[in-house]
Each structure stands twice: as structure tokens, then as C-alpha cells.
Chain A
Amino acid sequence: MKATVMMPLCLGMALLTAQAQAAPTIYPVDTARFLGTAKFDFKVEFDRELKESDMDVRINGKSVEDVFGAKPEFIRNEEGKGSAILLRNVSLKPGKYAVTARDGKEESVAKWDVYGTPEKAKAKNVILLIADGLSMGHRTGARLLSKGVTNGMYNGYLSMDTLPYTGMLGTCSVDSIAADSANTASAYMTGHKSSVNAIGVYADRTKDPFDDPRQETIAELLRRKTKKSIGIVSDAEIEDATPAAVVSHTRKRSEKAAIVGMFADIRPEVLIGGGSAYFLPRTVPGSKRKDEKDYVEDFRKAGYTLATTRTELLNVMEKTPDRLLGLFHTGNLDGSLDRKQLKKGTVSKFPDQPDLTDSMNAALKVLSKNPEGFFLMLEAGLVDKYSHPLDWERAIYDTIMFDKVVAQAQAFCDANPDTLLIVTGDHTHALSIIGTVDDNLPGELMRDKVGIYAAAGYPNYKDADGDGYPDSVNVSKRLAAFIGNYPDHYETYRPKLEGPFVPAVKDENGHYIANAAYKDVPGAQFVPGNLPRTESTGVHAIDDLVVGARGPNADQIHGFMNSTEVFRIMAEAMALGH
């Protein structure tokens, strides 16, 4: 008897739990702090099907229609997940806003802080330089290899060391304390936080990667409100997350073919990078498109001068074009260590790739033609691409290259003081330099040759040609640097001279196991991973970023800031709130 009574009771309780109400979800989310006059999509999701009259959404006590001047679309049932209201392309005046959403049972509140900008711009030009994944270890490593140390004093500073204003950035996401390059770049380019893998949108519950509530990008704002030129430069695929974030809206950063279309909508005056595979129709070998669209031709028709090698770039720059499309690789370009010294990676297939300094030079020349000024975002994308597979030597060589770009930008600022320059990364990696590895130290195992504290001494890199890069990465006493999170791999304590490191490969159970290609490297040591076995490489750290700046409005960079403040400082410098 008891059992028969208990069973329905338990069932009833289980059903009650299953039907437990979730509070409505409001986009933009609670804590959002964004630019007044910038467009955004307003959306509220309810967790069950409602009648329109059952829901009550108010902004500072007023109806949505009263506040935005338009009635939101009512979606009765969104993919079986419940009702929603959606109103696209709205904006607000500066002020504090409290949004309440009630469904008769549950209530949510989102508080927004909407800021304005002065009427008059402080800066004519804004240059944002991002080394993807730039961490303290990369900076220190670049300074050690590029400048060296004597008796404890560095022989010189990096250009990025000399920026007068410095701060720290927090990079957490809407959905996680961790972040990827999609939502971190999106925070710089829209002033809104987003979710992992999302660009220029709040990630909603629907499957469609293009219908999520949008956040207006800086490129859209510049086109709508100014006559400034726009430049986007990377040595990764130009559709990769960081450059894509300047113009794009999508829940999925992997929608690279669609992202090319979004570049075409904005038509930045300068577009330089890799990733031509997504510009070519599918019939062309090397294409990664699934349609016949030819975006190289599309950009040409729109008046772009095209360069596909370094030689072509230098040639076309002899008569500075008004619009420049540089596509130098079907995928990511090769980094400076492979291009300049080792000739590995894909250098044999793409032997004439520009250095990021060549691209920076070209970008500044084209953009400077506009008397109204410009916005330039340049990314050293490979610092991150090499840090993921624990190939820190390649990452540090590219940090040196990035610093040369910073020096070019500083020279431009010297000549054009009405330029705001911001230099940072977009998230960090857990890279630390702890000493040296000395092949001549006694010891049976390579780990015994790791010099620490006093035994570390000084590495013996040489830069006889004075180009800022060590003449050889493979010296007998080199940096000992380690990345703090990793899959199973073989630690070789040596630079990977045969090509970028591939630490782990997938097995038949879906687990990543150490890549046996490094097993027989003399002294290789098996290191069991400390990440889930589903991870193929090291992952991003949540550690703060360093940001440096100079020029108009740069004094706002100080102390600790949420990463979205970079957008606010740029928007304020260019008076985009007016």
C-alpha cells in the first residue's frame, strides 16, 4: 500500500521538478554596459509557450513600444522552447536602464548602463594592435631574445614596453569565465560581452548561427557615422575570429564562408591576411567554399587592387591604391621563424609571403590617404596559433615581429599625434619562462639540464645581423619555457626545427594521445596531460591581459578594466556616440 502511494507521489514530484520554471532571459544581458546610439537587438526568451498577454516586459517601467518606438515581434514558440519577443536595430540614449520581464510566475531583471561620448572627437585615427594570446611570458621571452640582459639589466626595451599608459584587462565571457578569440575580439569591437565562439551577437537558444541578437560592430558604426577608412590586417586567415569580429555577426566563428560576405558588406579599405580558400569558388583547387561565389572577383569589381605575394604587395604599393585586398595564403600565413630561418611549415608552398611589418606599412599608407582619418585593427594571429600546440619558440619569434609593428605604429603616432594607439592581446596563455636549458650540463635526462635560479645563468642566443631575432633558435643554452596546461605529449626541451609542434593526436576512443612522431627525439620525455583527454592542445588562460596605449584618450587606460572598456575608449576618442 505504502509503495503504491509513494510511487505516484515521487512521479508527481519528478514532473514538478521537470516543469520547474526558468526565469526569462533578457538580451542585452544583465550588467551590460554599452554605447548609446549604437544599434542592438532586444530579445526576451520565455521558457514555455505563452499568450502575448501573459508576458509583461518593461524598461524603466515603460512598455517596450514606448521606449523603442516600435512593437517587438512576438514569437509564439521558438523551436519548441517557448515564446519570445524580438525587436531588431534599436538604440538608447545614455542613462541607466532596468529591464523587467515577467511571465506570470517568474521575473528577471537586467540592468544596463548606457554611456555616451562627447560631441567632438579627440582622435582622428585609431590603431588597435592585437597579438592573439599575448601573455606576460611572450613579452618577457621576446625581450630576452630580442634585446638580451647584462648583469640583470635589459639591454633594451620592446617598443610595447614604452607605451605611457598601461592597464590590465579581464576577458571573461557571458557564458564562462574562460574565453576564446571570438568573444574577446567581439568585446573590443562592439563593447558588449558575448559567449565562447560567438562574434557580434548575444548567443541565444536557437540553432540558426545567424539569427542571434546583434551588437553593432565598430566597422558598422564607423560606416554609419563617419567617413573614416577601415583597415583589417592579420597573418591568420582573414575570416578567423579576431579580424572577423571587426565586421561580423554570428554565433559560430567557423562560418568562415559567410564571414567573407560580411567583409564584402562593409568593404574595409584595407583587407590583408590569409584565408583565400574562402574567397575562391568551390571549383578551384584549394577552395573551402561550398558555392560558386568568387569573392576575389567581387572585391576586384568593387575597385580593390589585389596582391597575393610579398613582391606583388611591394609593387602595388609603389602607387598607393585607394582600396587594397591582400590575400597571401589559402590558410594561415607562416610565422617569422619559419619564413625567415627554418623554411618549414608551408613556406615551400607559399615562398613569397609578406611579413606583418610589410602589411602594416601598406595598411598605413592606404589608410592615410583619407583626410577624415581611419580605424585600423591589426592582429598578429600566430602568437596564439603557436602557443596552443606548446610551440613557444615560434610564438615568441612572432611576438618580436609584433613588437616591430608596434614600433611602426609608434613612429606613425610621432608624426600624427592625433592618433590613439592601443596595444594588447585578446586573452592569455599559461606560458612562463623559468630559466635555461643547457645541453652542456651533466645529466642523464634532459630535465637535469634545466638550469634554474643561479644555475640558469644567461642563454647564448646571438643576433649578429642585428635584425632583432636571434640568428639561431637552436642554441646550446636556450630558454626553458613551459606552458602550464597541456594534453599528453612528449617534452623535447628543444625547438621544433622540422615544423610547428603537433603535441597530440586523436585515438579511436576520441582521446588525444601523445604524438609518437616526437617519441624518438633524443631526451624526449612523456608528459601525461592535465587537461580533459578530449583536448588536443593547450588552452587559453583566464589570467589578465596587459594593455598599453598612447595618444588622445589613452589616459583612460589604467588599473584593471573589463575588456569592453577598450571599445568605449576607442568610441569616445572618435565620438561615435554622436
Chain B
Amino acid sequence: MKTWLAVLFCLLLGVQAAWAAAENRLSFDELYSGGGALGLRFSDKVLSSEGTRISIRGFMAPPLKADADFFVLTREPVALCPFCQSDSDWPDNILVVYLSEKQRFVQNNTVIEVEGDLEVGSWTDEHTGFVSQLRLRNATFHTL
């Protein structure tokens, strides 16, 4: 009887862990909890998820190359390509995604789900000089 209860307990724990993994999802609206012209504030959810694996849905901004291991994820499709046009600029709530391996560019019209290790804080990409506040490392993505 005791063994049976222990098995049930473990099973329940397992289910809970699976739920937790599914729940570790962020949305663009949850990245910042406010702030203003003098700077934005990371949300508690972002700060408590730092270093963990999370998933988030968004749109892939047009990358520099079709096959890239680095792209910018945005809340809405970006019409302008700030990499290509000198007078356009990024929205301020972007997320930079570093893929674990190169994946093909996905149409900017399509929602994608990205999973990766969340990194928080200012960081400058050594190859491009691109400065980001939030990143996903070892990431993969798929279309929905």
C-alpha cells in the first residue's frame, strides 16, 4: 500500500513538473513591468526566470542573412528592417535569439515559438556590436 502511494506521489510530482515546464512561458507583455523615459524595468517574472529555459511567441524580424544563428524576436511584425535601412529603428521591447544551430528564416508574417535559456541584462554582441537587454541562448524555434 505504502509503495503504491509513493508511486502515485511520484507520478503527481512528475505531472506537476511537466506543468511547470509548460507554464514557463513568457509573453512580450510580461517582459517589462513599467518604467518610463529614464529606463524600463524588467518584470519579476523575467528576473525570476533568468537562467532558466523559457518559451515565448513572437515574430522573427528580417535577419541579415537567410541562414542565421542570430535574429531579433519582436512582439509585432516589424515593417522596417533596421539592419537594412538607415532611418528605421528597433522597438524597445525586443528579444535577441541565439540559435543552438542555424535555422532557415521564417516569414515575418508568421508567429513562431522560440525556446531557449533566458539571459537578462545589457550585453554587446562581439561580432555585430548589437546591444541587447534580453536574450535567449541555445534556442530553437518552430512555426505555429
A-side interface residues toward B, CB under 8 Å? 180-182, 197, 237, 241, 252-254, 256, 274, 276-277, 280, 282-290, 296, 308-309, 327-331, 349-350, 389, 499, 502-508, 510, 512-513, 515-517, 536-537
Contacts and interface: CB of A to CB of B under 8 A. Distances in A.
Given A282-B124, A287-B133, 4 more contacts: A252-B86, A282-B122, A284-B38, A309-B37
A536 B39 contact: no
13 contacts: A276-B38, A282-B122, A284-B38, A285-B32, A285-B40, A287-B39, A288-B92, A331-B92, A350-B36, A506-B81, A507-B108, A515-B77, A537-B80
Given A253-B87, A537-B79, A288 B37 contact: no
Q: Is the interface of A mostly helix, strand, loop or mixed?
A: loop
Contact of B92 (A241, A286, A389): A286
A331 B89 contact: yes
Given A308-B38, A536-B81, A506 B62 contact: yes
Nearest to B120: A285
A297 to B, nearest CB: 10
| Residue from the set A181, A274, A331 with the largest chain B CB neighbour count within 10 Å | A331
Interface of B: 32, 34-42, 59, 62, 66, 76-81, 85-87, 89-92, 104-109, 121-122, 124, 129, 131, 133
A536 B122 contact: no
A330 B124 contact: no
A289 B109 contact: no
For the complex of A and B, the 6 pairs showing the least CB-CB separation, nearest first, are A286-B40, A284-B39, A505-B108, A276-B37, A506-B62, A505-B77
Contacts of A503: 79
A282 B80 CA distance: 23
A514 B81 CA distance: 15
Nearest to B107: A507
A280 B108 CA distance: 30
Contact of A296 (B38, B79, B124): B38
A513 B40 CA distance: 33
B87 A287 contact: no
B79 A536 contact: yes
B109 A330 contact: no
Given A285-B42, A286-B92, A513 B87 contact: no
Contact of B79 (A254, A282, A290, A389): A389
A308 B36 contact: yes
Contacts of B42: 285
Contacts of A517: 77, 109
A279 to B, nearest CB: 9
Contacts of B40: 285-286, 330
B62 A510 contact: yes
A23 to B, nearest CB: 29
A540 B37 CA distance: 30
B35 A286 contact: yes
A330 B41 CA distance: 13
B39 A280 contact: yes
A254 B39 contact: no
A388 to B, nearest CB: 9
Nearest to B90: A288
Contacts of A254: 86-87, 89
B71 to A, nearest CB: 12
Contacts of B124: 282, 290
B89 A513 contact: no
A288 B92 CA distance: 8
A259 B101 CA distance: 38
A186 to B, nearest CB: 14
A515 B62 CA distance: 14
Contact of B41 (A285, A506, A513): A285
B87 A289 contact: no
Contacts of B122: 282-285, 287
A180 B92 contact: no
B5 to A, nearest CB: 48
Nearest to B80: A536
| Residue from the set B59, B79, B104, B133 with the largest chain A CB neighbour count within 10 Å | B79
A506 B59 CA distance: 11
A256 B129 CA distance: 15
Contacts of B131: 282, 287-290
B109 A513 contact: yes
B79 A505 contact: yes
A156 B108 CA distance: 46
Nearest to B122: A283
A505 B39 CA distance: 29
A304 to B, nearest CB: 14
A508 B105 CA distance: 6
Contacts of A256: 89
Contacts of B90: 288
A537 B85 CA distance: 12
Contacts of A389: 79
| Residue from the set A181, A182, A286, A309 with the largest chain B CB neighbour count within 10 Å | A286
Given A282-B124, A288-B131, A508-B66, A277 B92 contact: yes
Contacts of A515: 77, 79, 109
B86 A286 contact: no
A506 B92 CA distance: 20
A509 to B, nearest CB: 9
Contacts of A180: 87
Contacts of A296: 38
A523 B90 CA distance: 32
Given A285-B41, A286-B133, A502-B77, A331 B35 contact: no
